Chain A
Amino acid sequence: MAPYETDDSTRAEDADDLRAGPRRSARYVVPVAVVGVAAATIGLVPALADSGNPDLPKITAQQLIEKIAKSDVQQMSGTVKITTDLGLPNLGGLQNSMASAAPRGGSGSSADPSSKLMELASGTHTVRVATDGQDRQKLSLVESAAEYSLIHDGKDVWGYDSASDQVFHSTAAQDGGKRHDPAPATPKDFADQALKAAGDTTSVTVGGTAQVAGRDAYKLVVKPKQSGSTVGAVTIAVDAKTGMPLKFTLTPASGGAAVVDAGFTKISYARPAASTFRFTPPKGAKVTEEKDGAHGDHRHPKGAGPSSHGLLPGMPGEKGAKGGRKVIGKGWNSIAVLDTGSKGGTPSASGAKGLGGMLGSLGDPVSGKFGKGTVFSTRLINALMMNDGKIYVGAVTKDALVKAADTGH
């Protein structure tokens, strides 16, 4: 340092750095190391968190189903992540225009549950649920900087859409307070539907254990026995202690990512705060009252097309419950036959009809003994639209549809 007689500490420092030549670039190791550590953390933490399936006492499938049936969780709150990948073509603007057209046919409010919950039919969504007994439930769809809440408090059902500040109100059915869910959103809703299907056409087994939302769970695997179904397997993770379904996964027979994957990421069995279920519409907000008769319709949002057809159209239990259309086949292979030529009244039919004109190019033309038609495929549901206006829909393969159409003629 002696040669530097100036009192310029800058120089001194520079000289310092120059002398230690390699250290100049060595300092860039620090940011690189930070990036490396961050990348390693991002890569490793989920893997570590995933590790270890819990050791639980053995249980038979029958016992597990009974456990679910006996499960009586009255109070809980949690966060559910739902990913739906039906493999629909990306409709983009078309879907939006259908979505905006739908409320016009209904109550005209963006807070109407039927128009809102069909959003769950595609993509990934975060839903928060809270339950306190039979009379109080809340379901919130977490959106970017907004939220859609559906609150059931006693005899009132409120829908609040914070993005548009609109309120939807209806009075719950008086039949003992049992709420008619507008759409399946929790793993329990899905599981109930899937278990309805468990009959002689279904194999039900226990497929090991898993950790879901920090809780030990058994995995119940439900598989169709027949061939021809597009459903590969349904896996339900059941809380080992409470019997509450925590995660529902539907994998298609064709393999690949799950078609429906709904699971709790957080769950608490503590009683939610009472204020959670209290709702008074803000002053000046637009409140839409539900019209009479629109009640039972929520499960089939208008204009949703084949995609949100109850979310699980392949489930035989559901199929049988519907009137106004013919169902052929049984179990997982049941196929619904709609005649749009004469009726066109059912929501999915009108949706499919609207789609038909515009999406003709997206289907595959087929012909057989039945005549000519077009097959629209998704990863779960296939639909055969015949030129005479009949539609065959089911969670079955294309070949099975064509065969059904052939025998139908």
Chain B
Amino acid sequence: MSRADPETEGTARTARPAADTGPVTEPAGAGRAPSPLRTLGLLRSELSTTFRRWRTLALLAVLAAVPVLVGIAVRIQTGDGQQSGRGGGGGPAFLTQVTHNGLFLVFTALAATLPFFLPLAVGVVAGDAVAGEANAGTLRYLLVAPAGRTRLLVVKYATTTAFCLVATLVVALSALAVGALLFPLGDLMTISGTRITFADGLGRALLIALAVAVSLTGLAALGLFVSTLTNSGVAAMATTVGLLITVQITDQLPQLHAIQPYLFPHYWLSFADLMRDPVYWDDLVKNLQLQALYAAVFGSAAWARFTTKDVTA
């Protein structure tokens, strides 16, 4: 049996099942067309499994409820036409501008959910990705299918990333709907004090949603790595969320400012820089680089772990 030069490269591995397991697994090999279509099929099945889970839907419903709550609260507080009296006070970013323009509810909702709700949901999905399958005893069956572990892992990560995007969009769209219902729309003012058209504002809102989704990809890779370490889905989720909270706290301690630029949530709020005019790209780019770094480090660590792991369940 010719062992056609396995691994070394992702692409080589992807093509591998056809070359390698082909002759061994006789009957299952009937419709053995190599990768792209098969990977797509695997991805599709993963996506539908993930997004059909009640747990996932409940998470998305909670996320969709946040902008509704924020919108109603702001509306009630300013219902008598009065400016909210707490000048410069707390609350998430952009909160004071919501009354001028409903579009700002999108930014406020994202700023409110980004520190905790969104990453929590991502942590649950990412932590569950591999460990949950192992826990339910289905991981073995997934591996029986001639997909290859690397490909399975890539598909799992792609699914988690898709969830990041969907979760962010759910928050943004819910906020847009609530904002349109409760507050006026129209031309809006950037936080730099210049005016932009509503279409421009919508474009920026979309960019902001993308920036927020990208902000979560580092955490998604971290969660996936944790997920390959254990066979308990709950343990993986708890660890991921625990890590998230720890890192968030670390990011707040002034004594640790030397390491803070390297913590994955450090530049999360940089999405607000898209509302400056001209856009201030420095921190946005830093955030992008940092998330790519986390994805590369923990993605490859997850790969190293998962491809060498003894799967017993």
Q: Are A9 and B25 in contact (CB under 8 A)?
A: yes
- B100 at the A interface (CB under 8 A): yes
Q: Are B300 and A275 in contact (CB under 8 A)?
A: no
| Contact partner, B304, options A12, A31, A38, A151, Cβ 8 Å | A31
- A30 at the B interface (CB under 8 A): yes
Q: Are A284 and B100 in contact (CB under 8 A)?
A: yes
Q: Are A34 and B296 in contact (CB under 8 A)?
A: yes
> A275-B194, A283-B100 known; A145 and B272 CB under 8 Å?
yes
- A101 at the B interface (CB under 8 A): no
Q: Are A9 and B192 in contact (CB under 8 A)?
A: no
**List of A residues within 8 angstroms of B100 by Cβ:** 165, 282-285
| Contact partner, A284, options B99, B149, B280, B307, Cβ 8 Å | B99
| Residues 1-59 (chain A) with a chain B CB within 8 angstroms | 1-2, 4, 7-10, 12-14, 16-17, 24-25, 27-28, 30-31, 34-35, 38
B-binding residues in A (CB < 8 A):
1-2, 4, 7-10, 12-14, 16-17, 24-25, 27-28, 30-31, 34-35, 38, 79, 109-110, 126, 128, 140, 142, 144-147, 149, 151, 158, 160-166, 273, 275-276, 278-280, 282-286
Q: Are B25 and A164 in contact (CB under 8 A)?
A: no
Q: Are B24 and A7 in contact (CB under 8 A)?
A: yes
Minimum C-beta distance from B198 to chain A (A)? 14
Q: Are B146 and A9 in contact (CB under 8 A)?
A: yes
**List of B residues within 8 angstroms of A164 by Cβ:** 87-89, 96
**List of B residues within 8 angstroms of A276 by Cβ:** 194, 277
Q: Are B191 and A4 in contact (CB under 8 A)?
A: no
| Residues 256-313 (chain B) with a chain A CB within 8 angstroms | 269, 272, 276-278, 280, 282, 293, 296-298, 300-301, 303-305, 307-308, 310-311
> A147-B191, A166-B87 known; A12 and B111 CB under 8 Å?
no
A-B contact number at CB 8 A: 137
**List of B residues within 8 angstroms of A28 by Cβ:** 301, 304-305
Binary contact track B16-33/A, C-beta < 8 Å → 1, others 0: 010011001111100000
Binary contact track B131-170/A, C-beta < 8 Å → 1, others 0: 0000000001001101011000000000000000000000
Q: Are A31 and B298 in contact (CB under 8 A)?
A: yes
**List of B residues within 8 angstroms of A163 by Cβ:** 88, 93, 96
**List of B residues within 8 angstroms of A24 by Cβ:** 308
Q: Are B144 and A278 in contact (CB under 8 A)?
A: no
- Count chain A CB atoms within 10 A of each CB in B89, B140, B272, B308 and give the residue with the most: B308
Q: Are B28 and A7 in contact (CB under 8 A)?
A: yes
> A140-B192, A166-B87 known; A8 and B144 CB under 8 Å?
yes
**List of A residues within 8 angstroms of B37 by Cβ:** none
| Contact partner, B269, options A13, A25, A145, A165, Cβ 8 Å | A145
Q: Are A144 and B28 in contact (CB under 8 A)?
A: no
Q: Are B297 and A151 in contact (CB under 8 A)?
A: no
Q: Are B310 and A31 in contact (CB under 8 A)?
A: no
28 of the cross-chain contacts (CB-CB < 8 Å) are A1-B1, A2-B1, A7-B25, A7-B27, A9-B17, A9-B21, A9-B144, A9-B148, A12-B21, A14-B311, A24-B308, A34-B296, A109-B87, A126-B280, A128-B280, A145-B93, A145-B191, A146-B93, A162-B97, A162-B192, A163-B93, A165-B83, A165-B100, A273-B278, A279-B193, A282-B97, A284-B99, A285-B83
**List of A residues within 8 angstroms of B21 by Cβ:** 9, 12
| Contact partner, B307, options A17, A146, A166, Cβ 8 Å | A17
A283 to B28, CA, bound (A): 68
| Residues 172-216 (chain B) with a chain A CB within 8 angstroms | 189, 191-195
Minimum C-beta distance from B50 to chain A (A)? 22
**Chain A residue with the shortest CB-CB distance to B150:** A13
**List of A residues within 8 angstroms of B303 by Cβ:** 27, 30
Q: Are A34 and B297 in contact (CB under 8 A)?
A: yes
**Chain B residue with the shortest CB-CB distance to A165:** B96
Q: Are A282 and B304 in contact (CB under 8 A)?
A: no
Minimum C-beta distance from A173 to chain B (A)? 22
A93 to B19, CA, bound (A): 68
Minimum C-beta distance from B282 to chain A (A)? 8
Other A-B pairs beyond A12-B24, A165-B83, 17, CB < 8 Å: A4-B24, A9-B17, A13-B148, A31-B300, A31-B301, A34-B297, A79-B280, A109-B87, A142-B280, A146-B191, A162-B193, A163-B93, A163-B96, A164-B87, A279-B194, A282-B100, A283-B100
Minimum C-beta distance from B229 to chain A (A)? 13
**Chain B residue with the shortest CB-CB distance to A7:** B25
Binary contact track B71-115/A, C-beta < 8 Å → 1, others 0: 000000000000100011100011011011000000000010000
A407 to B276, CA, bound (A): 55
Q: Shortest 5 CB-CB distances between A and B: which pairs?
A: A164-B88, A145-B93, A27-B304, A7-B25, A145-B272
A12 to B21, CA, bound (A): 8
A26 to B1, CA, bound (A): 26
